[in-house]
Amino acid sequence: MACTLLISSNLQAQFIFDYSGPDTFYLSPVCTAPFNFGGQPPTVVSSIGANIVTPPTGVDAALTGYTPGGLITNVENPLTVYFIAEDDAIPANRDTFSFEIYFLDNTPPTWSSSIPGNIVIDCVEDIPAPVDLTAIDNCQLISFPVSPTDNPADPGPNCSGAPINIIRTWEAVDNSGNTAVATQTITLLPDVQAPVITEDPQDGNYTCQSSDFDGWLASQLSAIENGIVETCTYTLTHDAPPGYTGDCGMITVT
């Protein structure tokens, strides 16, 4: 960012003004900064051999709003600095120079909510619902909600294979582009536990009509997976002839 030197309209050729920077300063975590030009204050010399009179030569605190060495607060960028120059000529020459400097916030937001810890689960149904966290910007002193994203977004049931790590990420960005990131790892273990048959199927006699037979089959399915109704696939086989035509005889369902 280049320093912008704005010369006032009453400029006189008797002065040579210089401010070579820096023009950008970073605010503290409490959004303040010392007004000291980084140890490189503006300079002014006479072009006619006169002596510069100090004071009044220096920063005009009334026009600038701050006194050198003071603390910059409630920053509104850019800050226009007004500098008075005066010599000892008779009559005295006097002029005002102005230039702009910037104060930047480079402190990321902070979290006011507790960040969920990492967890290990057995079933996809146990993935906790996403919740918003609250972040606070150090300069504006405002809080704002942050919604998470999951990667992978929809892992599905882990019916076989290695554990699946779901990374839940919250990213808070303030108006200065500073970013704070919080993450939670949700580990979905593979399902290696056999289902439990909770009720033994009952024998039944039905005609070879598909609707009756299918209804009876559906009523016999009673099992749970790891204590919940699972979404993993299951198979049901029987030895009924195709189409259920004729005398079906004894049909075994497994």
The Cα 24–Cα 3 span in angstroms is: 8
The least confident of 79-88, 169-178, 205-214, 225-234 is 225-234
| 200 and 240 inside one domain | yes
What is the predicted pLDDT for the residue at 39?
A: 82
| pLDDT above 90 for 51 | yes
236 inside domain: yes
| Vertex 121 angle, CA 116 and 122, to 5° | 170
**pLDDT of 11 over the 90 cut:** no
| pLDDT tier at 149, thresholds 50, 70, 90 | very high
In a domain, 252, yes or no: no
Residues 182, 200 within the same domain: no
Those residues with Cβ within 8 angstroms of residue 129's Cβ, 6 or more apart along the chain or in another chain: none
In which residue are the tokens 């048959």 written? Answer: 197
Q: What is the pLDDT of residues 194-219, one digit of tens each?
A: 767 777 766 666 665 556 666 666 66
Q: Can you tell me the distance from the alpha carbon of 229 to that of 252, in angstroms, rounded to the nearest whole number?
A: 25
Q: Is residue 81 part of a domain?
A: yes
Residues 97 and 19 in one domain: yes
Does the residue 88 lie in any domain? yes
Q: Enter the pTM of the model.
A: 0.66
Q: Is the pLDDT of residue 10 over 70?
A: no
> Would residue 29 be called left, alpha or beta, if left means φ above 0 and alpha means ψ between -120 and 50 degrees?
alpha
